[in-house]
Chain A
């Protein structure tokens, strides 16, 4: 049981390039999330999904896109990388409570992205 895995661990992009950050979980969790964390700051929610085919914006979605075609995978796409997207990106997953709320979330190890 690997939990939540993310690839790549590190990436340097040039301005205007695009890339996909991969996230996979093997816990059969319905809910998945993408966060970014800038140095010394808290987590900011980018996008989340409550099941395959369903995605919704979080606090800071501009410049990103997501898809959820399977329960296991939730990739995050950066189309035109900008220096402001330099950050650490964490993927997380959770199962829903009986009320539909989120139980505790489990995080992947993160992707450190630098855009220059």
Chain B
């Protein structure tokens, strides 16, 4: 089983819609989680860090389910500017490296 698995998409949703995608991780020792967004041909940028059961920042909500080993990202009232690839990254205590998922590609349509 891969350390991180994400549905690559693409997800095509209309502007204003709510969209959610999941990320599953295999290492039960993962304790922190990061969501990054990556625009085409640009560097990944940190969107959100999750250290407990979840986090919310404006229109973005991350929820962690440790029992089932997945973390979800919910985007409400989606904007055209939300179009990007979203990378899920679990962090493991003591691990000096992060494992980046392949990402989920999201396109918001006008």
Please choose the segment from B40-48, B56-64, B72-80 that sits at the chain A interface, where 4 or more of its residues have CB less than 8 A away: B40-48
B43 in contact with A103 (CB, 8 Å): no
Chain B 26-63 per-residue mask, 1 if CB under 8 angstroms from chain A, else 0 = 00000010100000011111100100000000000000
Residues of A close to B42: CB separation below 8 A: 109-110
| CB contacts between A and B, total, < 8 Å | 59
A45 in contact with B97 (CB, 8 Å): yes
Cβ of A43 < 8 Å from any Cβ of B? yes
B101 in contact with A103 (CB, 8 Å): no
The one of A45, A102, A106 in contact with B46, judged by C-beta atoms closer than 8 angstroms, is A106
With A94-B98, A105-B34 given, name 11 new contacts (CB 8 A).
A33-B97, A41-B102, A48-B96, A97-B91, A100-B96, A101-B32, A101-B94, A102-B97, A102-B98, A104-B34, A105-B98
The 10 A-B residue pairs with the shortest CB-CB distance, nearest first, are: A107-B43, A42-B102, A99-B93, A43-B100, A99-B94, A101-B95, A101-B94, A104-B34, A100-B94, A104-B46
The SS class assigned to the B binding surface is loop
A103 in contact with B91 (CB, 8 Å): yes
A97 in contact with B49 (CB, 8 Å): no
Binding site for B on A (CB under 8 A): 31, 33, 41-43, 45, 48, 50, 58, 88, 90, 94, 96-97, 99-110, 112
CA distance A50 to B92 in the complex (A): 16
